[in-house]
Chain A
Amino acid sequence: MSAASLTLFVLLSPFIAAALAPLATRLMGYRAAWLLALIPAGIFVYFARLSSGVSGGGTVTQGYDWIPSLGLRFSWLIDGLSLSFALLISGIGALIVLYAGGYLKGNAQQGRFFAYILLFMGSMLGVVVSDGLFTLFVFWELTSITSFLLIGFEHERAAARRAAFQALVVTGGGGLSLLAGLLLIWNVTGISDLSGLLAAGEVVRAAPLYPVMLILILGGAFTKSAQFPFHFWLPNAMEAPTPVSAYLHSATMVKAGVYLLMRLFPVMGGTVLWETVLPLFGAATLLFGAVLAVRHVDLKMMLAYTTMASLGLLVMLTGFGTERAIDAAVLYLVAHALFKGALFMVSGIIDHETGTRNLTKLGGLRSAMPLTFAIAMAAALSMGGFIPFLGFVAKEEIYAALAQGDAALLAACLVAVLGNALMFAVAFAVALKPFWGETLETPKHAHEAPVLLWLGPAVMSLAGLLAALFAPSFHAAISSPMASAIAGEARVIDLLPLPHWGLPLALSLLTVAIGIAFYVGLASLRAAVTRLLDAIGWGPDRGFDQTIAGLVRFATAVTRSLQPGRLDSYMTVTFVLVALVLLLPPVVYGELARAPFFPAHIPWHELAILLLAAVGLPAVIFAKDRLTAIVSLGIQGFSVAMIFLLYGAPDLAFTQFMVETLSVVILTLVMTRLRLSPSDKRPLVQVLPDAAIAIACGLGVMLFLMKVTEVPFDSTLSDFFEQFSKPLAHGANIVNVIIVDFRGTDTLGEIAVVMIAALSILSLIRVRAGGLRQAEDPAEETPAQGGRR
């Protein structure tokens, strides 16, 4: 197997596993987790083996042609950045599958859950390894869709359905913005893959449309990564089962936006716009998320808001884009994925074992769940930035990056200190408070979690510790290649988990000090934030509901006004429009037909036919009842057919005869069905406008036809048909040859339309007849009718 096809198989394997997951779960129950976790584990190993080649700065680009006519390829780009993401996704993915095996044990829908989570994993891998811009987009939207399915997993609950819908609208809508941005980039540069684009950053940044491109791309990245003011879907997404919150909504999917920004940093970064917008939104998100986090007492909600804050921090760092800021972003991204995923899983364990996630109802669990407590503390120490955890290394680098420089950086530094202090308080509120203090009564009697539940968070917490203890190897394998790929030049990170005397350490200590103060005063802080939010009273979450409700109201109003359900208003609108279309353009452009040439000698029989047609008109208008009017309408039709016949168009005449006959028959039948009064009793005020519309339409058609006949006749086509009808198509009747041979495909389409029209008319008649019959005779359910149906 060649390297390309092997990678393709690896990328497709989650999708294959997803298809088999329900079957495996039916056969093996929750134990299927052990089997299914082998797939992400295998992917992890596969990517880990690529690491030696990539860490030296090499890249792997392979793929297949997708739409060759447009030059689009299904291809992948594996460098330091995508490799680190792929390792996170597959590694955490394996642990999440195991965790879900324990968490949803006994749930009848567990097989479906495994299928969704594996589908998501495949999509997310696709996002980070895609080289083609449009394969990236397809996978990007796939992650939105799988996220929708996972958030709405417990679809019997209205809150879950709303959250799923909201997440899909926000992230899917952002995806469309991303698509527009990518199309614009493609259009301007002509490059449709990232590897080509990375070398063409100058062109993109110099393009006049660069601000538009950037804003569209940010529309995709900010919605996905829950940046203020698009953040509201993320806390609501906590309706999903905890494995989903840990995996999608903290460790991986929400980082797709950050990934995209990091990926495009060499292409679009470094401009004034980039360095203004990103830090601004990032800082706002960091502060908002951290403040909102302390308001909640639900463990998952607290963690969700700190995730939002962390994403803001990452966007802010990517926005500043200095060398050290990129290094800090890389370290923090990995550290965050590990400790936040672990903390989410811990909150799930607490929920699973005690029956509640409410912080105020939990306490003293340390004796019942010592292992979970240890895991939680390890994650919280990393999140709080203690030596010797990866979180500490990341935080030192953040402060080192921000604390040197201009006023903007210093302001960002203050925001970071405040945000980190709040997150510190939340970390220990989640990891320490439920386990410490006096034991509180919980809905379920707490026990230590089974191995499937604690294995995942344990590995992740431990990884956060080991990555820092063995910092040189970690940097060589992960962070240096990743930072190099983002920066677009070789970077070496060599930070050790040791205190660096100076400003960063002082800021770290300050953060811890403020954090402890916040932790101690958490209850009063929560009350203060709640009071503030109640005073404001409105948020984007409510705004979303208002927007959707407004949209529905608007759609209803439009439908009501366009479709009042009255046939005469439809007819009036239609024919007024027909008259306008026919009359306005010639008048506006001065293209009215000239008075026609009237021949001197017209044979008497032609005059007679014209007279007959003219007689038809008063016959229709002055007919006593509707039926007579319909039949009289046939007079004109037959006269026109006669004229066709006289001027050598027998086919047309034939058809016209038959159509006239049948339309009179069918119209008559329809009229009897409609149960109208036999005669037309419109008042004069209605007759006059209707007559005016009718005359305008007739005049329009007449002028149009006269104009058409003024134009010299182009005989190219008729010459061709005349010349080749016999030799090519063996037919002397040109009309028929055109219908069945030269334009046969048209005819095929037309008869298909006839067929569809007949089917729809038939169903309309049946619906109506069924409704009437039911109203008349409710007892008769399936009325027997003459003939077969």
Chain B
Amino acid sequence: MNSVILRTVAPALVSLMVLFSIFVLLRGHNEPGGGFIGGLIAVAALSIYGIAFGVGAVRRALYFHPIVIAGSGLLLATVSGLVSAFFGVPFMTGLWVTPVILGTEIPLATVMSFDVGVYLVVVGAIGAVALSLEEEEDET
């Protein structure tokens, strides 16, 4: 789409959306948000970028093929579930550590990495579909 307004606004808008999607992902455990929603926001961002600058630009910006992103997300989620096996608790049991970094307690958990996995799967899978569809449109 050849719109000057969109091309001007898109970079700022897309960066904000991606940032927001990560914010939504990370705060998900205690407030509205989570991997699914975060992932969908990120895909929306990718779509806008694609509409503004073309699919090639999105693919270059992503660096990895979307399906690879989705696959690594699925792997991360599975591994997060398997960690519990090493601690003698059932599959998918949430494990927590709270290291103190620069005087602040940071709670980290396998459920968090699991949610990051969900985020990556949603971004990668839906992004891959959207990008391929947009691409065909560009070409024909």
Contacts and interface: CB of A to CB of B under 8 A. Distances in A.
Interface of A: 650-651, 654-655, 658-659, 661-662, 665-666, 669-670, 672-673, 729-733, 735-737, 739-741, 744-745, 747-748, 751-752, 754-755, 757-759, 761-762, 765-766, 769, 772, 785-789
B114 to A, nearest CB: 5
A665 B47 CA distance: 8
A662 B58 CA distance: 17
A654 B24 CA distance: 10
A670 B59 contact: no
Contacts of A789: 65
A658 B20 CA distance: 13
6 contacts: A655-B37, A658-B44, A673-B133, A733-B31, A739-B34, A752-B74
Interface in B81-137: 81, 91-92, 94, 96, 107, 109, 111-112, 114-115, 117-118, 121-122, 124-126, 128-130, 132-137
B135 A785 contact: yes
Among A731, A741, A748, A758, find the residue whose CB has the most chain B CB atoms closer than 10 A. A758
B83 to A, nearest CB: 12
Nearest to A786: B56
A669 B131 CA distance: 10
Contact of B128 (A732, A740, A762): A762
Contact of B133 (A666, A739, A752, A772): A666
Contacts, number: 164
Contacts of B92: 741, 744-745, 748
A730 B40 contact: no
Interface string B3-37: 00000000000000000000010001111111111
A785 B111 CA distance: 38
B55 A786 contact: yes
Contact of B40 (A658, A733, A755, A757): A658
Given A651-B33, A744-B92, A744-B114, A765 B133 contact: yes
Contact of A650 (B32, B59, B70): B32
Contacts of B128: 758, 762
Contacts of A787: 55-56, 58-60
Interface in B27-80: 28-37, 40-41, 43-44, 47, 54-56, 58-60, 65, 67, 70-71, 73-74, 77-78
A729 B111 CA distance: 9
A736 to B, nearest CB: 4
Contact of B59 (A665, A732, A747, A788): A788
B75 to A, nearest CB: 10
Given A658-B41, A670-B133, A733-B30, A740 B114 contact: yes
Nearest to A666: B130
B47 A662 contact: yes
A355 B80 CA distance: 69
In this complex, which of B28, B54, B91 has the most chain A Cβ atoms within 10 angstroms of its Cβ? B28
Nearest to B60: A787
Contacts of B94: 729-730, 740-741, 744
Nearest to B74: A755
A758 B55 contact: no
Contacts of A658: 37, 40-41, 43-44
B111 A669 contact: no
Given A651-B33, A744-B92, A762 B111 contact: no
B126 A758 contact: yes
Given A745-B92, A755-B74, A786 B59 contact: yes
A560 B126 CA distance: 33
A662 B36 contact: no
A493 B33 CA distance: 86
A761 B37 contact: no
Contacts of A766: 132
Given A754-B125, A758-B67, 14 more contacts: A654-B32, A655-B36, A658-B40, A658-B41, A662-B126, A736-B33, A740-B35, A748-B77, A751-B73, A758-B70, A758-B126, A758-B129, A762-B128, A765-B136
Contacts of B77: 747-748, 751
Contacts of B137: 669, 672-673
Contacts of B135: 785-786
B47 A748 contact: no
Contact of A755 (B24, B43, B71, B112): B71
A739 B67 contact: no
Given A673-B137, A758-B126, A655 B40 contact: yes
A651 to B, nearest CB: 5
Given A739-B34, A787-B56, A666 B125 contact: no
Contacts of A735: 32, 34
Contacts of A731: 29-30, 111
A668 to B, nearest CB: 9
Contact of B81 (A748, A754, A757): A748
A744 B115 CA distance: 9
A661 B44 contact: yes
Nearest to A783: B139
Contacts of A744: 81, 92, 94, 111, 114
A662 B40 contact: yes
Contacts of B55: 786-787
A689 B80 CA distance: 51
Contact of A733 (B29, B43, B129, B138): B29
A295 B101 CA distance: 94
B76 to A, nearest CB: 10
Nearest to A750: B118
A670 to B, nearest CB: 6
B104 to A, nearest CB: 17
B33 A754 contact: no
Given A655-B37, A661-B44, A730 B109 contact: yes
A350 to B, nearest CB: 63
A751 B32 contact: no
A736 B71 contact: no
Nearest to B65: A788
Contact of A651 (B37, B71, B125): B37
Which 4 A-B pairs give the minimum distances between C-beta atoms?
A787-B59, A786-B56, A758-B125, A658-B40
Nearest to B138: A786
A672 B70 CA distance: 26
A747 B107 CA distance: 22
Contact of B70 (A673, A729, A755, A769): A755
B111 A741 contact: yes
Contact of B136 (A666, A673, A747, A788): A673
Nearest to A761: B129
A758 B120 CA distance: 13
A211 B121 CA distance: 57
Contacts of B33: 651, 654, 733, 736
